């Protein structure tokens, strides 16, 4: 039971952090527009579900995405596709075309990396509050 609760808490926290990241990217105007935090939060969960479905489908078809530059480019294209699909089902979220989706995917990755790095430095005591 404790494992189930901790998994659910982890999913909710990951969704909240992803929602914040999407909201930040939307506020920066980097290929993505969200009308508020709730659409960003809904987008985070929609993106997670669509990404999971695409990953499952590719795996079911026997396609694996390796690392390296080619793998990074494929992941970027999939992320942009997921953003475009999500913008069709999430009210209050708009992706500014395929180029905007690529820019937003890069920006979401960069902001996510920055937040992860800052939180890691804070938790290690290497960054004073």
Give the CA radius of gyration of the chain.
Answer: 16
Distance of CA 86 to the CA centre of its chain: 11
Average the pLDDT over 77-95 and give the result.
92
Q: What is the mean pLDDT of residues 7-27?
A: 86
- In angstroms, rounded to a whole number, what is the distance separating the alpha carbons of residues 21 and 44? 9
pLDDT in tens, 102-121: 999 999 988 888 888 888 88
pLDDT reported for residue 124: 87
The residue to which tokens 């527009």 are assigned: 33
At 88 the pLDDT is: 93
What is the residue-wise DSSP string for 5-46? HHHHHHHHHHHHHHHHHHHHHHHHTSSEEESSHHHHHHHHHH
Please give the Cα distance from 52 to 85 (Å, whole number): 13
């Amino acid at each position: 039971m404790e494992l189930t609760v901790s998994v659910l808490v982890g999913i909710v926290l990951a969704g909240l952090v992803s929602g914040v990241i999407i909201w930040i990217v939307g506020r920066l105007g980097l290929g993505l527009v969200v009308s508020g935090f709730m659409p960003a939060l809904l987008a985070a969960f929609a993106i997670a579900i669509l990404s999971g479905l695409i990953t499952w489908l590719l795996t079911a078809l026997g396609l694996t995405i390796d690392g390296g530059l080619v793998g990074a480019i494929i992941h970027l294209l999939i992320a942009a596709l997921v953003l475009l699909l999500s913008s069709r089902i999430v009210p209050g979220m708009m992706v500014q075309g395929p180029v905007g989706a690529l820019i937003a995917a890069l920006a979401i990755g960069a902001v996510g990396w920055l937040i992860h790095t800052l939180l890691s430095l804070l938790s290690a005591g290497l960054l004073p509050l």
